[in-house]
Amino acid sequence: TKGRNIKIEWRSINGNEQRIPGVLTELIALHLDVIVTSTTPITLAAKKADTKTPFVFVYVSDPLKSKIIQSLARPGGNITGVSQMDTELCGKRVQLLTEFMPNLKRLGVLLYPTASYVPAMLTRTRQAAATANLEVLLFEATSLEGLDSAFMTMDREDVEAFVQIPHIMYWDNRKRIVNLAARYRLPGLYETTEFVDDGGLMAYAENLPEHVRRAAAYVDQILRGKDPADLPVAQPMVFELAVNLRTANSLGLKIPESILTLADHIVE
């Protein structure tokens, strides 16, 4: 029970990766029993930290390719957690977008170029786009000004719709991204339902609250004496398709019945 037999120390980098080393150093100095990390950049930094403190991660794309773990079955070291399947979902997102917009020809991809998982996710996105005969245009953004510029350039280059490769900066500024998409009348397919709740058109995503619940179970096991190296990295089990009818109407788009039938989450 929080406040009785467990104490929680919260820290945030507020979307600024430059703050990661300082925040980690501060947490490690507290000699905590377990640290929970969120997103790939933070977890990578935790993996490299000189500490024996157990870590449990959430919202990490492809921890194997990022060299955070040795294997899914036996992660090794002092770390385990819940993996995201964003790389595998990239192709499905492009497929859904082409089903929604069958005449789509020019697809924009918004990305944060230095993220370790970008090459794998971009490869999967390009493969799906090639199958659908789509031209792919890349737009990099690593700051708020970069987001503004990326959407302005998408509009200038006649991009008809876009997907984005996830990054913590995009998550923290999702309302800004959704508003930019609305300003330039650009349909977007996002990586979490929260973007749709904030006004984005559509998302195909893992259920993030389920990630947190499973990570909490790992924290409980570690506090009871389990070694994180012996806890297999969990993979997502629940996926959801979200659509925003209001946004579709504002863009003059009709959502196909096939997508409405599949939708788990509809904003009217």
Q: Do 233 and 83 touch, CB atoms closer than 8 A?
A: yes
The rounded radius of gyration (Å) of the Cα atoms in the chain is 19
Spatial distance between the Cα atoms of 46 and 225, rounded to a whole number of angstroms: 21
The DSSP call for residue 219 is: H
C-alpha angle 243-249-251 in degrees, rounded to nearest 5? 95
pLDDT of residue 3: 60
CB neighbourhood size of 256 (10 A): 13
What pLDDT tens digit does each residue of the chain (268 aa) get? Answer: 556 678 888 888 877 788 888 999 999 999 999 999 998 889 999 988 877 899 999 988 878 888 899 998 999 889 999 988 878 889 999 999 999 999 999 999 999 998 888 998 999 999 999 999 999 999 999 999 999 999 999 999 999 999 999 988 898 899 999 999 999 999 999 999 999 999 999 999 888 888 889 999 999 999 999 999 999 999 887 789 999 999 999 999 999 999 999 999 999 8
Query: Which residue in this structure is represented by tokens 């990239």?
Result: 90
Q: Which among 79, 62, 100, 78 has a CA at the least distance from the CA of 203?
A: 100
pLDDT of residue 107: 98
Structure tokens at 183: 């300003």
pLDDT of residue 2: 59
Spatial distance between the Cα atoms of 131 and 128, rounded to a whole number of angstroms: 5
